[in-house]
Structure 1
Amino acid sequence: MLTLPDHRTGLLQRGTSGPAVVLLHSLGLDKLMWDPILDQLAVGRRVFAYDLRGHGEAAGSPRPFTLHDTARDLIAVLDELELVTAHVVGLSYGGAIAQTAAIESPGRFASMSLLATTDRAFPDVFERRAVSAESDGMRTQVDETMTRWFTPAALADNTLGVQYARGSVLAMDPADWAAAWRSMKELDAQGKLAHFPAPVLVVAGGADVSGPTAVLRQLAEGIAGASFRELPGVPHMQTLEHPEEVAAVLDEFLPTA
């Protein structure tokens, strides 16, 4: 467990030496989202994954909260781990948090990898998801969310990744879910990372209906020197349906000892 300024959260670590990599998970999931790729990334690296506020072992942390709060949490995690800088990887909601922290504290980043995310808010959509959970509970969120996250084939097969994601969404407190979606309404990174000083990788899934390739490509084009990769056939939940491809592209980008 890590003690942050206003709550405690859980941490996973793999690897004992090499550059530090910090992983930020998607909204509605937790640090276990990264489990399928942790061991590969930990070869020659120290890899950390923690639960974002309102998720996993940080469920029930103070609400409401802002995207800036979650960005400050990231910096607090680096401080607790005594890391001056880290290679930060964020998927979806985690990518929004990474970008927000990168705008506010660019010197704490050795690099940034943005997977299946966006650099702008869609307030009406995000508020609708918040209100729906508050009004009708988490069970009403499952079908729409799974359809956004996974391919029809994975849903039909009810893979372990689908089972984990479905269980995570069902178990989430509607108040935490709503607070997270409302924090996303503040996302405003477009054009603000044009001259970000550290290397950047942007990864799109070719089968991602939630974060289409065109959105990720435009995000990459707005950051000078950013590398862009599209993974054919990969949906929004990249690590849960195609972990080998995701691990390979990150392994190529991230330095080792």
Structure 2
Amino acid sequence: MREQMITRPDGTRIYAQITGAENGPAVVFSNSLGTTLQLWDPILPLLPEGLRILRYDMRGHGRSDVPDAPYTMGQLISDAEAVCDAFDVRDAMFVGLSVGGMIAQGLAVKRPDLIRAMVLSNTAAKIGNPKLWQDRISFITANGMAAASDEIMRRWFGRDFYATPAMTPWKAMVEATSVTGYTGVCAAIAGTDFYTPTSGLRIPTLGIAGTEDGSTPPDLVRETTDLIPGSHFALIRRAGHLPCVEKPAEFATHLCDFLSATGHLAQAGD
């Protein structure tokens, strides 16, 4: 594993790590609001060997710096761009969940050389509305992450997973997130509408949704995926907003099938 802190023009340092084959086909993972790169831990052992896997913590989260809020989607996209450039990643499969999926859409428009295919998991071209996000920002600013964590868990997880011992580390992850970092990214989501730019994309795309997702319901994910001609859509039953956590084997199967269908997986054996 190779780790690096990438310093952005505003001084913010973004933590990233890369593992796997030195010259293998790249897969970049981008996390959801309130999580770190550990979001993908459950599925990594289920992926084939030979891939070059790049993960990072977005600003305000994990081991990355927490600059003053608010943040913009342009900043989040530029951070992801800088991470890819720092590790000389090109023609990657970009897997983004929730806000990570919004970053994927924006980066695919801005830097088509970086992304040859993308997976839009539990995300949309537009999520919620400015009032919803401002209400959340105001509540968390006033009360802290712990006061909001149970409501977040209810949106995130399906009935099979919610309130089980397996949920505990994810609730702790949310509560450990900086209020500034969380609300900063909330502001970025609030100001984003990618319907027009995403509809202009022409790259292989897989949408993934969970039937019990309280944040980005399946119809919303499908609507965004359908903006891109030739895209595919997979529905994971009895899973919520983080199917890579609740149903890692099923999520990994969809991902591996897509890697194979796009020819990305075949490159691992070259």
What is the letter of the counterpart of residue 6 of structure 2?
T
Where in structure 1 are there 5+ consecutive unaligned residues? none
**Contact 2:68 / 2:184 at 8 angstroms: preserved in 1?**
no
Distance in 1 separating the partners of 2:154 and 2:242: 11
Q: Does 1:23 align with 2:29?
A: yes
Q: Does 1:92 align with 2:98?
A: yes
Q: What corresponds to 1:72 in structure 2?
A: 78
What is the letter of the counterpart of residue 160 of structure 2?
A
Q: What corresponds to 1:231 in structure 2?
A: 236
Distance in 1 separating the partners of 2:147 and 2:73: 25
State the identity %.
31
Q: What corresponds to 2:161 in structure 1?
A: 154
Shift of 1:2: 2.6
Q: What corresponds to 2:119 in structure 1?
A: 113
What is the letter of the counterpart of residue 180 of structure 2?
A
**Counterpart of 2:89 in 1: which secondary structure?**
coil
**Counterpart of 2:200 in 1: which secondary structure?**
coil
Distance in 2 separating the partners of 1:135 and 1:113: 35
Q: What corresponds to 2:144 in structure 1?
A: 137
Shift of 1:226: 0.9
Shift of 1:171: 1.1
What count of residue pairs does the alignment treat as equivalent? 255
Q: Does 1:220 align with 2:225?
A: yes
What is the letter of the counterpart of residue 128 of structure 1?
D
**Contact 1:7 / 1:62 at 8 angstroms: preserved in 2?**
no
**Contact 1:15 / 1:42 at 8 angstroms: preserved in 2?**
no
Q: Does 1:53 align with 2:64?
A: no
**Contact 2:159 / 2:238 at 8 angstroms: preserved in 1?**
no
Identify the match of residue 176 of structure 2 among 150, 160, 171. 171
Distance in 2 separating the partners of 1:214 and 1:14: 34
Distance in 1 separating the partners of 2:18 and 2:135: 35
Once the two structures are superposed, residues 43-85 of structure 1 have per-residue CA deviations (whole angstroms, 9 ceiling, x without a partner) of 2311111101110001413533211101011111111001233
Q: What corresponds to 1:244 in structure 2?
A: 249
In terms of mean alpha carbon deviation, does 114-123 or 8-17 score higher? 8-17
What is the letter of the counterpart of residue 95 of structure 1?
G
**Contact 2:158 / 2:212 at 8 angstroms: preserved in 1?**
yes
**Counterpart of 2:199 in 1: which secondary structure?**
coil
**Counterpart of 1:188 in 2: which secondary structure?**
coil
Shift of 1:42: 4.9
Distance in 2 separating the partners of 1:158 and 1:39: 21
**Counterpart of 2:240 in 1: which secondary structure?**
coil
Identify the match of residue 134 of structure 2 among 127, 132, 135. 127
What is the letter of the counterpart of residue 230 of structure 1?
L
Classify 1:10/1:214 alpha carbon distance in 2 versus 1 (closer, same or farther; 3 Å): same
Q: What corresponds to 2:6 in structure 1?
A: 3
Where in structure 2 are there 5+ consecutive unaligned residues? none
Distance in 1 separating the partners of 2:14 and 2:224: 30
Distance in 2 separating the partners of 1:247 and 1:123: 33
Classify 1:58/1:195 alpha carbon distance in 2 versus 1 (closer, same or farther; 3 Å): same
Matches within 5 A, 1:186-197: 186-197=191-202
Shift of 1:163: 1.6
**Counterpart of 1:88 in 2: which secondary structure?**
strand
What is the letter of the counterpart of residue 24 of structure 1?
S
**Contact 1:206 / 1:213 at 8 angstroms: preserved in 2?**
yes
**Contact 1:55 / 1:172 at 8 angstroms: preserved in 2?**
yes
Q: What corresponds to 2:41 in structure 1?
A: 35
Shift of 1:12: 3.3
**Counterpart of 1:182 in 2: which secondary structure?**
helix
